[in-house]
A = this chain, B = another copy of it.
Amino acid sequence: MSTWLNNAWYVAGWDSEVDSAPLARTICGVPMVFYRKLDRSVVAMRDACPHRLLPLSMGLREGDSIRCKYHGLKLGPDGVAEEMPLRTDTVNRKVCAETYAVAERHRFVWVWIGEQDKADPALIPDLWPCSTPGWTFDGGYYPIACDYRLMIDNLMDLTHETYVHSGSIGQPELMEAPINTRVEGDQVFVTRWMPGVDAPPFWAGALKQAGPVDRWQICQFLLPSAVLIDVGVAPVGAGASLESHDQGVRGMVVDFMTPESEGTMHYFWGMARNFEIGDAGFTARFKAQQGGVFAEDREILEAQQRAIAANPDLRLAAYQIDEGGVRARQIIARAIKAQQQEAQA
């Protein structure tokens, strides 16, 4: 049984990663090649020539097509043969590479890996802070050698910041704030509301105003493997609440964990914010800082992945702080089972 959901949109890359030159990336165990056509739309195709399986990503781009580097079989953006290796041969249009539905939204390239007739772009989550005037958005890409669900566990419980990120963003106060976990359909919310606290340096600098603040962290899990984290502070008395909080400064951290194989994943991280939006230096510094935070997480997650293999008699335990991750895993498992039952029906 697969550990990931097949009928789903996964982030395959940042929009800026895909261009006319082919990009090879394995998504959910399937080697894929991505490239842009002349009209800038993105093609996703099995990264194997239907002739002798050489990766098409080694090939040559011609117009909207791609030509294999081995014997020159030329395939159109629909994956169908346009020219055989021997140019005098009749083109056999049954010769083709699998293609995959692609959509471009909120600065990401999304790919649908399962049944292609079910690929509805309306199912892509609405990441409005990543595409709305008054907000700015940027982020990075990091490959990690761990099961993608370990990263979901990590993000659905921010208490790990105290120990893993003790040198950067961790704060003991986080351990003391009560958390609330709730499930709404296929979504999980883990929320922390910290009223009347001192703003930590990062948020104090963003708010540019002295005095106590109300602070929030709202982690939201979405199928198949995303975690969005709504964070920010507002001056006490400005009326901010868990439900509505645009009174101060606000950020939306987006995390997409795309499985590469059973034990490796692609991590796409970004942050949208509604403050200092014209300050490119702020963005650059913040991305650099996040690179350091990420390195701390990667060390932990890859060690955890190795430890799971080295201790086959032990199982992951779950305490109260893990409830968010546990609920997210239950929703993933339930969705996989439902798709399998549907496929067998």
Contacts and interface: CB of A to CB of B under 8 A. Distances in A.
Contacts of A307: 31, 47-48, 53-55
Given A70-B304, A87-B175, A176-B87, A52 B159 contact: no
Contacts of A157: 71
A257 interface: no
A46 B311 contact: yes
Given A54-B300, A89-B320, A164-B69, A310 B159 contact: no
B71 A159 contact: yes
Contact of A70 (B50, B88, B163, B317): B163
Given A88-B176, A159-B71, A314-B48, A54 B303 contact: yes
Interface in A152-176: 153, 157, 159-160, 162-164, 175-176
Contacts of A60: 163
Interface string A317-330: 10111100000000
A88 B163 CA distance: 16
A320 B91 CA distance: 12
Contacts of A303: 54-55, 58
Q: Which of A26, A53, A175, A317 has the most CB of B within 10 A?
A: A53
Q: Which of A50, A71, A159 has the most CB of B within 10 A?
A: A71
A68 interface: yes
Contacts of A68: 163
Interface in A82-100: 84-89, 92, 95
Q: Which of A26, A58, A60, A307 has the most CB of B within 10 A?
A: A307
Contact of A175 (B70, B86, B314): B86
Interface string A200-229: 000000000000000000000000000000
Contact of A85 (B55, B67, B159): B159
Interface string A63-85: 00001111110000000000011
A127 interface: no
A53 B319 contact: no
Interface string A26-68: 1000010000000000000011101111110010100000011
A134 to B, nearest CB: 36
A52 B316 CA distance: 5
A295 interface: no
Nearest to A299: B58
Contacts of A89: 319-321
Contact of A304 (B54, B95, B175): B54
A160 B26 contact: no
A92 to B, nearest CB: 8
Contact of A316 (B31, B53, B163, B164): B53
Interface of A: 26, 31, 46-48, 50-55, 58, 60, 67-72, 84-89, 92, 95, 153, 157, 159-160, 162-164, 175-176, 300, 303-304, 307-308, 310-311, 314, 316-317, 319-322
What 4 A-B pairs come out closest when comparing CB atoms? A53-B307, A48-B311, A72-B163, A31-B310
Given A69-B164, A70-B300, 9 more contacts: A46-B311, A48-B311, A53-B307, A70-B304, A72-B162, A72-B175, A84-B319, A85-B159, A88-B176
